[in-house]
Structure 1
């Protein structure tokens, strides 16, 4: 279910005086167009794990792929809590976004096909996938597709500093 307009609150203690919330549409545009994201998961022993990856934002959800034996897939099997971040690595301009949520495997053929197409549209032919039995496929092997259902997000506007919290769930 897509999020239309979540509740947005500026944190005055972390923002310039009189700062206004960053519009949710700006956050969605960044999530939709970013090329690189950072995924934070929790290892079974409780230690954090962070890795860069490619993702697709669609209908209020983030989607990511990973091999079944990769650390992030094993972490998600034990604990589905995640943080996904993206933005600009600059201090004085741009927008950084942090999305907190829960990840779940996607195995429905129609959703797998739609996301395979979305990856190819966004990232080009090197990221073209086929659809197998509950997985995406490439010459290199099979990939699991995960959907991140967001519960909260934060926007960190730079330049005119404003930290905005969005309650999504």
Structure 2
């Protein structure tokens, strides 16, 4: 799977990246899917952080989701749909690879600004696919982006 940094995605598709980021920032908690040791999926709650032009995933040390990502960095994050059924802003998902950050300067900068409980694991997201699904009148509208290409829009009745 080809991947891109969040900064690269924002440069390539600034309007779509802003839409996706705003959708994630609307609520604190989202759903993360990882791959268990036996290859089956694991779904857990997670907070995401957009900072320094990148998308970050932070988690407690030794957590199952951290162990999953350290072993197999593939993931998918589904934005919280919210407390009602309006789905304002659509349904947003990001998939890709989570790269563990071990650089002490990056970690120190993140801690100084975000103030996470310590110790913690920090992962930088490499974006592989971004999808927004919404409804426009009677049409289902799917906007999708893959690294190296434009946003594609598909409409279905």
- Quickly name the TM-score band, shorter chain normalised: 0.7 to 0.9
Pair 1:143 & 2:157 matched: no
Q: Shift of residue 159 of structure 1?
A: 5.4
Pair 1:96 & 2:91 matched: yes
Larger of the two Rg values belongs to structure: 1
8 Å Cα contact 2:48/2:56 also seen in 1: yes
Q: Name the stretch that deviates more: 70-79 or 97-106.
A: 70-79
CA gap 1:57/1:111 in 2 versus in 1, 3 angstroms:
same
CA gap 1:117/1:32 in 2 versus in 1, 3 angstroms:
farther
Bigger relative contact order, structure 1 or 2 (CA pairs below 8 A, ≥6 apart):
1
8 Å Cα contact 1:153/1:168 also seen in 2: no
Instruction: Give the counterpart of 1:61 among 54, 61, 65.
Output: 54
8 Å Cα contact 2:54/2:124 also seen in 1: yes
Q: In structure 2, what is the Cα distance between the partners aligned to 1:62 and 1:104?
A: 11
Q: In structure 1, what is the Cα distance between the partners aligned to 2:53 and 2:92?
A: 14
TM-score, normalising length from structure 2? 0.73
Q: In structure 2, what is the Cα distance between the partners aligned to 1:33 and 1:168?
A: 25
Q: In structure 1, what is the Cα distance between the partners aligned to 2:65 and 2:74?
A: 11
Partner SS state of residue 19, structure 2:
helix
**Cα root mean square deviation, aligned:** 2.5
Q: In structure 1, what is the Cα distance between the partners aligned to 2:34 and 2:56?
A: 15
TM-score, normalising length from structure 1? 0.68
Q: Where does the alignment leave 5 or more consecutive residues of structure 1 unmatched?
A: 8-21, 120-127, 130-136
Aligned to 1:85: 78
Count of aligned residue pairs for this structure pair: 137
Aligned to 1:5: 12
Q: In structure 2, what is the Cα distance between the partners aligned to 1:75 and 1:156?
A: 27
